[in-house]
Amino acid sequence: MSAGVLQRRNRYKRPEEVRFSWRRLRSEVDWRRVAHYVGPLALVVAGLGALAWGLNRPLRAVSIDGSFQRVSPTEIEAAVAPYLSAGFMSVNIDAIRRAVQAIPWVDRARVQRRWPMGLEVTVVEQTAAARWNGSGLINARGDLFLRDASDPPAALPLLSGPDGTEGDVAKRYFAAEPLVGAAGLRIAALKLDARGAWEMDLTNGLAVRLGRHQVARRIRRFVDTAARIVIPRLSDVEYVDMRYANGFAVGWRPGASATAPAAPSAGGASPHTGAGARTPPSGAAAPAPIPTSVPKAA
């Protein structure tokens, strides 16, 4: 072959690979300096590993704390049990808390590691403030925490309305309850129907029709005026209709005298005699008799 061909072939010849040499590495690296820095670090890592292994021993005890009326410690133990196979350091605290809070009647839970090999679970129960649609329960924040309670406390006020309105009805109840309570009355039930109309029933048997508009203002007007007028004849009154702009209508019980009671001396207005009597605005003359039919909900 010619010299030109040999030269072209040599162009594509791969360079000789450099082989790793331990002898060369030992001669070029200052191992004493490396040991000076790496040795203490290795000891620290080994110590931390040993400490973690010593701390991450299996859990041996679970302490349960709280004031229990509706929740039993057995339920809490059952919720925590699947996580006890983990070690003291590796146990999933958040997962345990979620499992405990999923128990009916548990409002919130706190889970903490307890030295040396235990857990401490603190539980706060729900406080039921009202019933919802018969068997549901609403707490003091207005949250529906139980939809189908087996034994809802009958003494709690009954709130009702279409599905998904529990928050709105609860908010209305919590706003009205102190106003009504200041008048010496208590709310037995608060209802919101499918048309958006409200009605409030009191524990003394009186029904208060509030309609769909200006509900808060009508509740206050009932407390300030209507309640003081109709309470003296409560046994004769079936309902009070607050769906008037400046007054209210009284629905008398069958057989009751339609003669309205006198107005209180302190600034109240007198209702007109009749089954559908209403109160005039303060300072106005008594109105003419109004029809006994109840106005449409407003």
DSSP string, 30-48: -HHHHHHHHHHHHHHHHHH
Q: Are 219 and 176 in contact (CB under 8 A)?
A: yes
Q: Are 56 and 88 in contact (CB under 8 A)?
A: yes
Per the domain annotation, does 207 fall within a domain? Answer: yes
Report helix angle 93-101 to 73-80, nearest 10: 140
Distance, CA of 43 to CA of 241 (rounded, Å): 84
Same domain, 141 and 199: yes
Q: Is the alpha carbon torsion for 193, 196, 200, 206 positive or negative? A: negative
Assess if residue 13 is contained within a domain: no
Between CA 24 and CA 158 the distance in angstroms is 89
Q: What is the pLDDT along the chain (298 residues), one digit of tens a residue?
A: 445 544 555 555 555 555 556 566 556 656 566 555 555 665 555 444 444 444 556 777 888 999 899 999 999 999 999 988 887 777 899 999 999 999 999 999 999 988 777 889 999 999 999 999 989 999 999 999 999 988 888 999 999 999 999 999 999 999 999 999 999 999 999 999 999 999 999 999 999 999 999 999 999 999 999 999 898 988 899 999 999 988 899 999 887 665 555 444 333 333 433 334 444 333 333 333 333 344 444 5
Q: Are 137 and 227 found together in one domain?
A: yes
Note whether 135 and 237 are same-domain residues. yes
Residue type, 190: L
What gap in Å lies between CA 214 and CA 158, rounded to an integer? 22
Q: Tell me if 204 is assigned to some domain.
A: yes
Q: Is 87 a member of any domain?
A: yes
Q: What would the two tokens of residue 228 be?
A: 């003081």
pLDDT at 273: 35
Based on the fold, state whether residues 82 and 136 are members of the same structural domain: no
CATH code, domain with 103: 3.10.20.310
* DSSP state letter for 8: H
Q: How far apart are CA 62 and CA 155, in angstroms?
A: 36
Q: Which residue range is the domain that position 152 belongs to?
A: 128-252
| 113 lies in the same domain as 219 | no
Residues 139-169 as b or e (16 or more Cβ within 10 Å = b) = beebebbbeebeebeeeebbbbbeeebbeeb
Tell me the CATH number at 231: 3.40.50.11690
Phi, psi dihedral angles at 211 (to 5 degrees) = 75, -160
217 Cβ contact partners less than 8 Å away, ≥ 6 residues apart: none
The tally of domains found in the chain comes to 2
End-of-domain residue from the set 74, 105, 125: 125
Q: How would you class 271 by CB atoms within 10 Å of its CB: exposed for 0-12, middle for 13-18, buried for 19 or more?
A: buried
Q: Could you give the CA distance from residue 186 to residue 171 in angstroms, rounded to a whole number? A: 16
In a domain, 22, yes or no: no
Which one of 98, 125, 152 terminates a domain? Answer: 125
Q: How many of the other CB atoms lie within 10 Å of CB of 275? A: 16
Beta pairing class for 207-211 and 237-241: parallel
Helix (H, G, I), strand (E, B) or coil at 191: strand
Please tell me whether residues 163 and 219 are part of one structural domain. yes
Residue 29 forms part of a structural domain: no
What pLDDT does 263 receive?
A: 46
| 145 shares its domain with 163 | yes
The vertex-204 CA angle with 202 and 206, nearest 5°, equals 60
Do 119 and 138 have their domain in common?
Answer: no
Paired tokens of 193: 């129907």
Query: Are 295 and 239 contacting, i.e. CB atoms less than 8 angstroms apart?
Result: no
| Neighbour count for residue 22 (Cβ, 10 Å) | 7
